[in-house]
Structure 1
Amino acid sequence: MKLIGSVTSPFVRKVRVVMAEKKLDFTFVQENVWAPETTIQQTNPLGKVPCLVMEDGSTIYDSRVIAEYLDTLTPVCKLLPPNGRERAEVKVWEALADGVLDAGVLVRLEKTLRPEHQQSQEWIARQWTKVHAGLRVMSEGLGEAPFCMGKQYTLADVAVGCALGWFAFRFPEVAWRDDYPNLARLFDKLSERSSFKDTVPFLA
């Protein structure tokens, strides 16, 4: 398998963490989707990463779809319950983490792609409202449990950990550690796993 992505994308990181936890072999091909010479639309018509290219050349895109597929490939470190309410709860955690990231990414794009005088402060404030509401719900859902779903490490933790890691990377001024110390404890614990250590985002 070949994974097309960026080392700074939290959605790509989520897939890389899943692949590491599942001990799956793959080739990582870095792609800057914002570069004029990008070829990402040859594999994903939406022009986004991550994109997983299979052995037969077919492709899977969207991090949630890829992660769910990868979890079926081997029984090693099952990250999703097989069915029912628990599986849905893990997927809700993932949707929440991804939604918080979506809002954060929109803030970053507004700030980096538009000149300052063209930026909409109302739009930025609206996205930050989503971020803070999402973080609050994450904290309330986690409580004092060791992991998002209680005692078991799941895809929920992978998604939340990658979201928190991205905010620490792109918006270090956001004081989520102070506001939600239980999320900070979870993030610090996840950061000790080799799958997280090996995928820390950085600027080339």
Structure 2
Amino acid sequence: MKLIIATPSPYARKVRVILREKNIDFEEIIDVPWNTDTLTLGVNPLGKIPILLRDGYEPLFDSKVIVQYLDGYKPKPLFYPNDYSENISARLVETVSDGICDSIVLIFLENSRKEILRSKTWIKRQEKKIFEGVQYLSNNLDQKQYFVGNHFNIADVSGFTCLEYLDLRFPKFKWRDKYKNLVSYWNIHKDRQSFKETKPYSQIIEPLDD
């Protein structure tokens, strides 16, 4: 298997973490999907990463689709819980975490435009989603060690990845000062090997002219 990634991407990181947790051999191919020479052309019609390449099969894209495939490919450990209630709860945490990351990406791209073209109203709308999303994560976690159930699953991969993406792309939001339970959660999981090996870092993207 080969996985096309971008190094800062929280969506690619989810898959990278789970491949490591499942101990599946794969090769990482680094791409910048915003650039004109992106490897996503002709592979993902949406031009996004991550993309999982498998010999003899069509490419898989979207982190949720890929993780679901990996749970079928190698069920242990399972990341989407079998229990119906836990499954829905885990997917909600994943959806909120991904939504926070979506808004961070949109703010980052808006700020990459020429200053005269930037919309402060648009940025504030996205910031509101981030603030309310993190509040949801804090409320959902409460004082637990895991978001859902008593085991590490997709909710934890998504939630932890989201928090570190905030550190990378939205540092002005001092979530650590406001949400002590999320700080405790981060401290519990920060030394997990799959997280340490996939810590995000920035890439240079081509400027947006208009």
Please give the range of the TM-score, normalised by the shorter of the 2 chains. over 0.9
Paired amino acid for 2:62? D
Greater CA deviation, 124-133 or 177-186? 177-186
Over the aligned positions, Cα root-mean-square deviation in angstroms equals 1.3
Greater CA deviation, 193-202 or 69-78? 69-78
Which runs of 5 or more structure 2 residues have no equivalent in the other structure? 204-210
What SS class does the counterpart of residue 72 from structure 1 fall into? helix
Summarize the alignment of residues 157-176 of structure 1 with structure 2, pairs less than 5 Å apart.
Answer: 157-176=156-175
CA deviation map 1:11-39 (0-9, x unaligned): 10111001111111111111111222223
Matching residue of 2:140: 141
Matching residue of 1:52: 52
Summarize the alignment of residues 187-198 of structure 1 with structure 2, pairs less than 5 Å apart.
Answer: 187-198=186-197
Partner Cα distance (1:27, 1:17) in 2:
13
Greater CA deviation, 156-165 or 51-60? 51-60
Structure 1 residue 76 displacement after superposition: 2.6
Partner Cα distance (2:24, 2:189) in 1:
19
Which runs of 5 or more structure 1 residues have no equivalent in the other structure? none
Matching residue of 2:15: 15
Matching residue of 2:61: 61
> Alignment length, in residue pairs?
203
Structure 1 residue 55 displacement after superposition: 2.1
1:106 equivalent to 2:106? Answer yes
TM-score (norm 1): 0.95
Summarize the alignment of residues 69-148 of structure 1 with structure 2, pairs less than 5 Å apart.
Answer: 69-112=69-112, 114-148=113-147
Structure 1 residue 83 displacement after superposition: 4.7
1:40 equivalent to 2:18? Answer no
Q: Which runs of 4+ in 1 moved over 2 A?
A: none
TM-score (norm 2): 0.92
Structure 1 residue 124 displacement after superposition: 0.3
Preserved CA contact (<8 Å) 2:145 2:188: no
Identity of aligned residues (%): 36
Summarize the alignment of residues 173-188 of structure 1 with structure 2, pairs less than 5 Å apart.
Answer: 173-188=172-187
Partner Cα distance (1:103, 1:35) in 2:
20
Partner Cα distance (2:57, 2:150) in 1:
38
